[in-house]
Structure 1
Amino acid sequence: MSAPSARMLSGPYYPRSFTILVIAAMGVLIVPLASGLINAVHVLQGVLDTQRQFTRDSLAVTRDVRQVVDSVSQLQRAAGQYHLLQDKEFGPALHARFDALQKQLAELEPRLSDPLARSTLATLRTRSLALYRTLQPGRFLDSERFHALDPAFDDLHVGAENLLHEADTAVEGELQVLEATVQATQQRLIALGLALIPLTLLLAAVFSWLINRPIKQLKASIQQLGQADLGPLPAISGPQDIVELGREMDWLRQRLQALEEQKLQFLRQVSHELKTPLASLREGVALLGDELAGSLNPRQRAIVTIMDTGSRDLQQRIEDLLRYGNLQDARPPAVPVALAEALASVLERQRLALEARRIVVETEFAAPAVLADRALLETVLDNLLSNAVKFSPDEGRILVRSEVADDAVVLWFCDQGEGIPEALRARVFEPFFQGPRQPASTVKGSGLGLSIVRESVLAAGGAIGIVDAPPWSTCFRLSLPLPP
């Protein structure tokens, strides 16, 4: 087989390989998630660095301010030792305490960002310098003059305590700013995550469509072949390897179509080849039955009867083969057909079988006519009635009912046999299929009866299926076109 009749498209948005498509889908889906994760890590790292720097700065400021408070106390103690004891050996200690205080104030100044704290620091430096000019070593102060400086020392202590309080307040303010920054960062990350969710879902939907589209097309093609529909397959678009698979499926369809044509041709040829010798055989059996070759004793007549029955059964099977083959070729024209008349003709042909089994056929024709070919409709009714008689118990009932539903005529054919298992209902319409529950009292058929029914119904533009409708054990439900 050469080029397929179905369209096989490898779209411009498809890669050459299905595997590459899947890998590309996974890669594209990972990109927004990875970028969001990297961005989140970067933001969190920035917040963490800021928090670390804030912790170091706040601890350093608090430590230095507390050292200033201690240095003020140490300066007052050193001044007292020098002036009250009037001992020159304490002069270097006094000078060292003052230098240490000034150094601490100088180092603390650039770390303070609060204007009020910087102002308090400047006042503290000015007052400490003015006080040291009075206390500096070189001359001693008596007790009265030294104690007169207590308010100045108190001002230094108050200034140092104020500086400590203002530094703590500034740290708390910066902590609130940091908390606000962390909260804003958290909201930003949440917004980023919420933005990535629809983007990821959109990309997932796009790639799911790109991946599932050729798979659904292949599934539709497989289902079409499974339903014995050998027409052109649906168009398949996708990666190159999927398109190649579609071409192989179309090649398989063409092979099946060729085999089906060969099978039908073989059935027609065999059927026609068998009809000629069968006609001669039936003619010879008829001559023997008419005793044209001489009289027959009872045993010979029984043999002739068996031969006649066998030849008739063989003729019926050959006619079934011919009818099945002809149904594959063309659809006969449809005309309004009265159901009662068609069923009456079929009942007349089946009258002996019905009377022998004492089976009653009940009819309920709410829809009196259908749009179909008269011969095809009688073939459907005849095969369904034969099947129902075959599987019905003696003295059983068969229901034939029609109704109008969904702009079509629905025809029910029900019997009281053993029923058809659910697993076999899809196979009973296959050619030559015969279920395991075959009545022992009947002659084994060809397995084409229900296949002919299905092909006849499809040729009439209808549909057929098996449904449950208690108290009946088996019900065939046919839908046929409604007459205008």
Structure 2
Amino acid sequence: MLAGPYYPRSFTILVIVAMGVLIVPLASGLINVVHVLQGVVDTQREFTRTSLAVTRDVRQIVESVSQLQRAAGQYHLLQDAEFGSALRESYDDLQTRMQALGGRLDDDRSRATLAALQARSRTLYGELRPGRFLDSDQFHALDPAFEALHDTSRTLLAQADAAVQHDLQQLEATVQATRRRLILLALALIPLTLLLAAVFSWMINRPVKQLKRSIQQLGKADLSPLPAISGPQDIVELGREIDWLRQRLQALEEQKLRFLRHVSHELKTPLASLREGVALLGDELAGTLNARQRSIVGIMDSGSRELQKRIEDLIRYGGMVRDATLPPATPQALDPVLDAVLARQRLALDAHHVRVEREFGTPTVHADRAQLETVLDNLLSNAVKFSPEGGRILVRSEPAPGAVVVWVCDEGPGIPEAERSRIFEPFVQGARQPASVVKGSGLGLSIVRESLIAAGGSVEVADLPPWSTCFRLTWPAPP
């Protein structure tokens, strides 16, 4: 159980790294979004500032052209030298505004129009320059030049407006492109984040699932070596602790089985002597017995038989746990097997006046004869013990897909739902025990379960109305 090369030493560090890696694409996406939006905002701010300045300057140029014409009229038509300074100021103001506008224009058409406006204004001012006065005819002869100057300024205004509209459309296109870019970024980040989340989820869940499988294996009493656990160092250490627990349980199980084996064999020797002595008394080899003595000998014989059965159950259970393999299975007819079992149970059946009913929809079972008799003997012994006086026991078989199902049912008090999951565990006995029967060892149903598992089948407590207690045995069909 070694930590994987791609795992950190601590499970906590793994979780922190996973969270950090998942935050990285989201944070980078957020930073990118802020950067892009800031660029859009800066572009919009620059556009607003430039467009407003261009529009203002062009409109002021149009106004300055009109102001230049008024100042020229006042100077030449009134023949007043005091208006010469106003004429010069109007011309200088127009030139200043055109120079300022020239630094803000981007399109070639507007620049060409502005250059034409500057050339025409200089040519016209050369005719209007203060220092001499023009008479009325000479002044009005310049009206076409003024009109051309006005037309050029209005053309410049129209071109400036068109340029502003063009820039606005470009800005809208930039906003739309930015929107698409952000959507694509989000669509790219979502699967990337989900992929990273899936990878780290797998890295986190993998050792947890391995631990879960190991714990489930121990829960099923499977003490075979556990699968290797890879992951952070602390998870690997926990896996080692679970494997230590498995080894400890295995050692305890071996000690328990060794104890049962020794106790069983130690009890068989004095029990054999006891049964031999009871048999000698029953045969009256030590003298004639009266009715009361015979009754006592019968009680001793019944008790010794019951004790022998429990010792044999201990030996059989220990052997099945150590070696769950069975002899080769062969087709077994249920009628003669059941007859042999009932012959051994005859005294108990007659004592309780219990009758056994059989319904064999499938007359044969693919099993080992001795194991089949052991299973039916334990279940029938259990059913007789819990059946009421004059009760019935049902033994029934029916076909199932790939198997044969055998039912053993009685009319006893039933098994509570809370006890059904534990009733097959060794040494576990139900709460509803008959008051007139000596308490059993609690190994009968465990032997039944181990026998069915070794044969590839299963056993469970099931409901089959109107019977109160039913065991459903599943024997696999022959291959």
Higher relative contact order (CA 8 A, sep 6+): 1
C-alpha change, 1:177 and 1:397, in structure 2 (3 Å) is farther
Q: 1:176 aligns with which of 152, 160, 169?
A: 169
Please show how residues 205-284 of structure 1 align to structure 2 within 5 Å: 205-284=198-277
C-alpha change, 1:444 and 1:71, in structure 2 (3 Å) is same
CA contact (8 A) 1:51 1:178 kept: yes
Letter in 1 for 2:358: T
**C-alpha displacement of 1:381:** 0.7
Letter in 2 for 1:220: R
C-alpha change, 1:216 and 1:151, in structure 2 (3 Å) is same
C-alpha change, 1:159 and 1:413, in structure 2 (3 Å) is farther
TM-score (norm 2): 0.90
Runs (5+) with no aligned partner, structure 1: 1-7
Distance in 2 between the 1:420 and 1:463 partners? 18
Please show how residues 38-437 of structure 1 align to structure 2 within 5 Å: 38-286=31-279, 305-330=298-323, 331-336=325-330, 337-437=332-432
**C-alpha displacement of 1:438:** 2.2
**C-alpha displacement of 1:450:** 0.6
Secondary structure of the residue aligned to 1:328 is helix
Residue 464 in structure 1 maps to residue 459 in structure 2: yes
CA contact (8 A) 1:334 1:460 kept: no
Query: Could you tell which deviates more after superposition, 181-190 or 348-357?
Result: 348-357
1:60-81 CA distances to partner (integer Å, 9 max, x unpaired)? Answer: 1111112112222222232233
1:353-374 CA distances to partner (integer Å, 9 max, x unpaired)? Answer: 3444454433333333333322
Distance in 1 between the 2:207 and 2:357 partners? 51
Letter in 1 for 2:445: L
**C-alpha displacement of 1:236:** 1.8
**C-alpha displacement of 1:269:** 1.2
**C-alpha displacement of 1:245:** 2.1
1:478 aligns to what?
Answer: 473
**C-alpha displacement of 1:416:** 3.9
Secondary structure of the residue aligned to 1:36 is helix
1:31-72 CA distances to partner (integer Å, 9 max, x unpaired)? Answer: 333333333322222222222211211111111112112222
- State the Cα RMSD in Å: 2.6
Distance in 2 between the 1:326 and 1:261 partners? 12
TM-score (norm 1): 0.89
Secondary structure of the residue aligned to 2:337 is helix
Distance in 2 between the 1:81 and 1:300 partners? 162
Letter in 1 for 2:380: L
Aligned length: 477
Distance in 2 between the 1:55 and 1:469 partners? 87
CA contact (8 A) 1:399 1:414 kept: yes
**C-alpha displacement of 1:397:** 4.0
Letter in 2 for 1:333: P
Distance in 2 between the 1:342 and 1:383 partners? 13
Distance in 1 between the 2:303 and 2:401 partners? 45
Distance in 2 between the 1:442 and 1:266 partners? 27
Over the matched positions of the two proteins, sequence identity in percent amounts to 74
1:407-465 CA distances to partner (integer Å, 9 max, x unpaired)? Answer: 33332333344443333222111111112222334332211111111112122232222
C-alpha change, 1:123 and 1:398, in structure 2 (3 Å) is farther
**C-alpha displacement of 1:108:** 0.7
Runs (5+) with no aligned partner, structure 2: none
**C-alpha displacement of 1:351:** 3.2
Residue 447 in structure 1 maps to residue 447 in structure 2: no
**C-alpha displacement of 1:326:** 1.8
Secondary structure of the residue aligned to 1:364 is strand
